[in-house]
């Protein structure tokens, strides 16, 4: 099962990818905005509410890098490929409609023992002006592909604080949450086809990791940015366990002087771990 090490350093471009407020509102609904109280977060879910200026959830930026739009990383069954890490850095509020060009680079293929880790860095710019919109780093774990003697890529230290979280947010997910979120662009049948989920030992299709990421982004936006997307800076986390739609999510946030730590729990276990958030100076 050889990996394509010769692709390290390879770059590719996608786009322009265009969106309107209908797309950003669908994304907001896909990550739970308005589910508990439709009168809240209307700036993200409606474009014609009295006294409300339409806006875009910052984590919508993750949809500007469509899943699977990268060169084949090796000769292996795609079911061995897991999305294991995501970070996103916003350079300012995203426009409610626009187009982006994304340039991505395979930064490295790292040896993690039994598994390999592929790291892809992406830069999204406004297609019309060239203005930077967002930067993303995606980690993809290839199971059973390690042991080739390459670099190991050490994780940045992360330790859960001993004290209680400074902020806690609880969110329900709907039984059809994955079906709704997949309309934002990720049509992987793992999240909709029970037969595919069963092959991976899951009782039913799980939620997309980036959907859970979006729920956490909403909590961070409210708790640490005063609901102002202009203050949303860098958010990163590891995907540590699947979430079954219909189960609740609990976002736990520990505020710090410069960096906040967070995690998401569901059904008694951490499903989004090693979370970091850095607000954007405004």
Q: Active site residue: 23, 111, 186, 238, which one?
A: 186
Residues pairing with 168 in the sheet? 252
Q: Compute the Cα dihedral for 61, 41, 278, 233 and give only its sign.
A: positive
Q: Are 79 and 106 in contact (CB under 8 A)?
A: no
pLDDT on residue 20: 97
Domain coordinates in residue numbering, the chain: 5-278
Instruction: Quote the tokens at residue 248.
Output: 């609740």
Task: Locate all alpha helices (DSSP H) within 148-230, ordered by sequence.
Answer: 177-181, 194-199, 209-225
The Cα 117–Cα 138 span in angstroms is 10
The pTM (predicted TM-score) of the whole model is 0.96
Report the length, in residues, of the chain. 282
167 in catalytic set: no
186 in catalytic set: yes
The Cα 138–Cα 121 span in angstroms is 6
Q: Active site residue: 70, 83, 85, 191, which one?
A: 191
* Nearest residue to 118 via CA among 157, 158, 151: 151
pLDDT on residue 1: 53
Residues 6+ apart with CB under 8 A from 172: 32, 35, 36, 248, 249
Task: Locate all alpha helices (DSSP H) within 150-266, ordered by sequence.
Answer: 177-181, 194-199, 209-225
User: What are residue 80's phi and psi, to 5 degrees?
Assistant: -85, -5
Q: Which CATH number fits domain 5-278: 3.40.720.10, 3.20.20.30, 3.10.129.10, 3.40.350.10?
A: 3.10.129.10
The Cα 180–Cα 188 span in angstroms is 13
Three-class DSSP category at 190: helix
pLDDT averages per 10-residue partition of the chain, 282 residues: 87 95 98 93 96 97 88 83 95 97 96 92 97 97 86 86 97 97 94 93 96 98 97 98 97 96 97 97 83
Residue carrying structure tokens 């203050």: 231
Cβ neighbours, 10 Å, residue 38? 11
pLDDT on residue 71: 85
Q: Are 56 and 64 in contact (CB under 8 A)?
A: no
């Amino acid at each position: 099962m050889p990996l394509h090490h010769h692709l390290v350093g390879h770059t590719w471009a996608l786009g322009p990818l265009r969106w309107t407020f209908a797309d950003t509102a669908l994304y907001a609904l896909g990550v739970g905005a308005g589910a508990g109280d439709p009168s809240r977060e209307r700036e993200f879910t409606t474009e014609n509410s009295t006294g409300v200026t339409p806006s875009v959830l910052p984590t919508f930026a993750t949809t500007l890098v469509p899943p699977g739009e990268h060169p084949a990383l090796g000769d292996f069954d795609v079911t061995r490929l897991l999305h294991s890490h995501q970070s996103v850095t916003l350079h300012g509020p995203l426009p409610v409609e626009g187009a982006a060009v994304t340039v991505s680079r395979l930064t490295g293929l790292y040896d993690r023992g039994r598994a390999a880790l592929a790291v892809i860095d992406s830069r999204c710019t406004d297609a019309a002006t060239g203005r930077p919109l967002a930067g993303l780093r995606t980690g993809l774990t290839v199971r059973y592909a390690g042991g080739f003697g390459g670099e190991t890529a050490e994780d940045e230290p992360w330790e859960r604080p001993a004290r209680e979280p400074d902020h806690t947010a609880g969110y329900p997910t709907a039984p059809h949450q994955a079906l709704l979120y997949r309309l934002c662009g990720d049509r992987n049948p793992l999240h909709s086809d029970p037969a595919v989920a069963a092959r991976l030992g899951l009782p039913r299709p799980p939620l997309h990791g980036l959907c859970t990421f979006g729920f956490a982004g909403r909590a961070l936006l409210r708790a640490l940015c005063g609901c102002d997307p202009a203050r949303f800076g860098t958010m990163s986390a590891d995907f540590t366990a699947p979430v079954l739609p219909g189960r609740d999510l609990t976002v736990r946030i520990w505020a710090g002087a410069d960096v906040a730590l967070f995690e998401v729990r569901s059904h008694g276990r951490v499903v989004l771990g090693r979370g970091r958030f850095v607000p954007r100076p405004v």
